[in-house]
């Protein structure tokens, strides 16, 4: 990967200064301003049989009957699926575009983690991201709706376990706002909004939360965060009341009020940072929720996903817990240990050191799970052996094991299980095994890293329909099946 570190530094300083200059102009001008469910039968216990029609994205949102039973939880929908609050006003990206942008996100995560043997000091430096095209925020994201300000305004935010700062675009959009679905948040219309001053500890914390030192505009703290060379948000650091549900209200919540925002963010209003840094949503709400949250990511055409904070009495009976590894993957990411992979019930022959060399993180924003090259090769070989009756076809972006299923009405695929530390066996839902461009190009939904030392990532396609529990204080991650139903 090319690493034009100094040019990024210049570019990003430039963004800050463009913002600060435009801000002073503004002041002097006194401007006012995958795959669906569709399992046909469980023919044999180690295979899934799927209807080919279930492989194409649906244009119909299938609503959940149990939505109201998840009290106090936020509804999660896929950003590009038919259940999004404003479906269809932006055309969804193609499967290939999603995969290309997914690789940009993975490149930036791996770059952030590749520097330092102890992997903790990197983010304090000024430059953390490579110059890569496209948004490293990725596109296969999930959104929740929260309320901000007094009176509260509804905002649709991507939730991201791979970043920390929560931000939304703000009026007067001093430099630039991209097109979003809801009215842009206007801090001047909120009676509870306050700017954060430069000389505060919270302002200093931006350095670790964003990878960039804060700046000042007058006495107001200015944040900047970039997700790749074409995606960033720069603006005032402020606090306001954040409302999740009527009984979950947080006053003085720290967030970025973006005045200069660009990238491939269309369709949502900002980001809810669920990483581990002190400024993340998870840390800021720790006194109420004890750094405990859980979600189920629905398939793109289902409305039954949720994001829930705190334990509040939910049964954890069917959950199995694996240790959350704290020290190895920086201040933001959630790391866990993969110990084995099974295909059709058979454990692949992969040396444990293949997984332990680079480690693995779980990320809500990465689409396709990334594996060390030796693990991916073993998975691909075993999968192909189970699929010999179907014709292979050309690769789709990062996915190299694709089949032409256009002449079939059903397909029978092997089960895939991941085994995490503590012998936690997680069966991957059938929606997380195949990724379809069309019925003539249906691919194994996993990819190999280009080298053995790059971190592995358990991505969101493979997390679909699982209940995933982050017990950060307890140092463990829980997994359960059929989490969305």
Ligand X SMILES: *[C@@H]1O[C@H](CO)[C@@H](O)[C@H](O)[C@H]1NC(C)=O
Give catalytic residue positions.
160, 363
Considering beta carbons, is residue 30 or 389 the nearer one to ligand X? 30
Query: Shortest Cβ distance from residue 109 to ligand X (Å)?
Result: 32
CB of 189 to ligand X, least distance (A): 10
State which H helix or E strand residue 407 sits in: none
What SS3 state is found at 114?
A: coil
> Does 218 engage in binding with ligand X (CB under 6 A)?
yes
DSSP string, 353-402: HHHHHH-EEE-SS--SEEE-HHHHHHHHHHHHHHTTTS-EE--BTTB--E
Question: How far, in Å, CA of 46 to CA of 69, rounded?
Answer: 32
In the complex with ligand X, which residue's Cβ is closer, 155 or 296?
155
Closest separation in Å from C-beta 203 to ligand X: 12
> Taking CB under 6 A as the criterion, which residues in 224-243 touch ligand X?
236
Closer CB to ligand X, residue 4 or residue 218?
Answer: 218
- Residue with the two structure tokens 């290309």: 100
Among 187, 256, 263, 275, binds ligand X (CB under 6 A): 187
C-beta of 195 vs 412, nearer to ligand X: 195
**Nearest CA among 191, 260, 252, 186 for reference residue 222:** 260
Q: Counting contacts by CB under 6 A, is residue 220 touching ligand X?
A: yes
202 touches ligand X (CB under 6 A): no
CA within 13 Å, CB half, 474: 14
Q: Given the complex with ligand X, which of 33 and 352 has the nearer CB atom?
A: 33
Cβ 200 to ligand X shortest distance, Å: 14
Q: Which stretch binds ligand X (CB under 6 A): 212-220, 224-232, 242-250, 394-402?
A: 212-220
CA–CA dist 385, 208 (Å, integer): 46
Write out the H or E segment, with its range, that includes residue 284.
helix 281-284
Question: Whose Cβ is closer to ligand X: residue 257's or residue 382's?
Answer: 257
Q: Cβ contacts of residue 431 below 8 Å, gap of 6+?
A: 34, 35, 36, 37, 299, 461, 464, 465
* Rounded distance between C-alpha atoms, residue 223 and residue 234, angstroms: 6
CA atoms within 13 A on the CB side of 224: 24
Q: Is the peptide bond before 151 cis (omega within 30 degrees of 0)?
A: yes
Buried b (16+ CB within 10 A) or exposed e, 275-306: bbbbbbbbbbbeeebbbbbbbbbbbbbbbbbb
Is the Cβ of residue 15 or residue 419 nearer to ligand X in the bound state?
Answer: 15
* CA–CA separation, 444 and 425 (whole Å): 20
Q: Could you tell me if 112 and 330 are in contact, meaning their C-beta atoms sit under 8 angstroms apart?
A: yes
Q: How far is the CB of 273 from ligand X (least distance, A)?
A: 21
Task: Scan residues 415-474 and list those touching ligand X (CB under 6 A).
Answer: none
List binders of ligand X among 322-341 (CB under 6 A): none
Stretch that binds ligand X, among 12-20, 92-100, 187-195, 356-364 (CB under 6 A): 187-195
Shortest separation between residue 240's beta carbon and ligand X, angstroms: 10
Comparison of 257 and 361: residue with beta carbon closer to ligand X: 257
Number of residues that bind ligand X (CB under 6 A): 7
Supply angle C-alpha 407, 411, 412, rounded to 5.
150
Q: Does 195 bind ligand X (CB under 6 A)?
A: yes
Q: Is residue 217 at the binding interface for ligand X, with CB under 6 A as the rule?
A: yes
Residue 14 C-beta: closest distance to ligand X, Å:
19
Maximum Cα–Cα distance for the chain, whole Å? Answer: 72
Q: How far is the CB of 263 from ligand X (least distance, A)?
A: 23
From the list 46-54, 215-223, 352-360, 402-410, the region that binds ligand X by CB under 6 A is 215-223
Under the binding rule (CB under 6 A), the answer on residue 193 touching ligand X is yes
- How many CB atoms lie under 10 A from the CB of residue 202? 18
Question: Which segment (134-142, 146-154, 213-221, 313-321) binds ligand X by CB under 6 A?
Answer: 213-221
Q: Are 272 and 146 in contact (CB under 8 A)?
A: yes
Q: State the number of CA atoms in the 13 A half-sphere of 399 facing the CB.
A: 27
Choices 82-90, 217-225, 295-303, 465-473 (CB under 6 A): range interacting with ligand X: 217-225
Binding site for ligand X (CB under 6 A): 187, 193, 195, 217-218, 220, 236
């Amino acid at each position: 990967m090319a690493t034009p570190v100094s040019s990024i530094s210049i570019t990003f300083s430039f963004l800050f200064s463009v913002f600060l200059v435009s801000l002073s102009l503004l002041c002097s001008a006194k401007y006012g301003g995958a795959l669906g469910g569709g399992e046909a039968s469980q023919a044999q216990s180690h295979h899934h049989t799927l209807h080919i029609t279930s492989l194409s994205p649906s244009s119909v949102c299938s609503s959940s009957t149990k939505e109201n039973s998840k009290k106090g939880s936020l509804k999660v929908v896929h950003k590009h699926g038919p259940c999004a609050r404003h479906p269809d006003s932006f055309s969804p990206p193609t499967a290939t575009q999603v995969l290309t942008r997914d690789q940009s996100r993975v490149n930036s995560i791996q770059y952030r983690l590749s520097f330092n043997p102890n992997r903790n000091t990197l983010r304090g430096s000024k430059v953390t991201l490579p110059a890569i095209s496209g948004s490293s925020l990725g596109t296969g994201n999930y959104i929740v709706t929260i309320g901000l300000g007094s009176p509260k305004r509804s905002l649709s935010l991507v939730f991201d376990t791979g970043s920390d700062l929560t931000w939304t675009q703000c009026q007067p959009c001093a430099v630039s706002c991209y097109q979003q679905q809801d009215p842009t948040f206007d801090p001047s219309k909120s009676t509870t909004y306050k700017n954060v001053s430069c000389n505060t500890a919270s302002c200093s914390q931006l350095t670790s939360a964003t990878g960039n030192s804060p700046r000042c505009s007058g006495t107001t703290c200015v944040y900047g965060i970039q997700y790749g060379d074409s995606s960033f948000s720069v603006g005032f650091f402020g606090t306001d009341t954040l409302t999740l549900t009527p009984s979950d209200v947080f006053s003085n919540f720290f967030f970025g009020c973006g005045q200069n925002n660009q990238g491939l963010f269309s369709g949502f209003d900002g980001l809810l940072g669920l990483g581990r840094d002190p400024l993340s949503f998870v840390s800021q709400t720790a006194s109420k929720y004890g750094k405990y949250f859980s979600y189920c990511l629905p398939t793109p055409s289902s409305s039954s996903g949720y994001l829930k904070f705190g334990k509040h009495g939910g049964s954890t009976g069917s959950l199995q817990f694996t240790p959350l590894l704290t020290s190895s993957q920086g201040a933001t990411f959630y790391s866990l240990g993969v110990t084995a992979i099974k295909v059709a019930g058979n454990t692949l022959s992969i040396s444990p050191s293949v997984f332990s060399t680079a480690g693995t993180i779980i990320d809500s924003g990465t689409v396709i799970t990334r594996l060390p090259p030796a693990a991916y090769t073993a998975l691909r070989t075993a999968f192909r052996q189970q699929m010999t009756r179907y014709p292979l076809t050309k690769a789709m972006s990062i996915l190299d094991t694709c089949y032409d299923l256009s002449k079939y009405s059903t397909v029978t695929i092997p089960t895939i299980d991941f085994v995490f530390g503590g012998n936690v066996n997680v069966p991957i839902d059938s929606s997380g095994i195949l990724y379809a461009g069309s019925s003539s190009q249906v691919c194994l939904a996993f990819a190999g890293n280009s080298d053995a030392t790059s971190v592995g990532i358990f991505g969101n396609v493979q997390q679909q329909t699982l209940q995933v529990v982050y017990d950060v204080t307890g140092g463990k991650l829980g997994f359960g099946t059929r989490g969305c139903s």
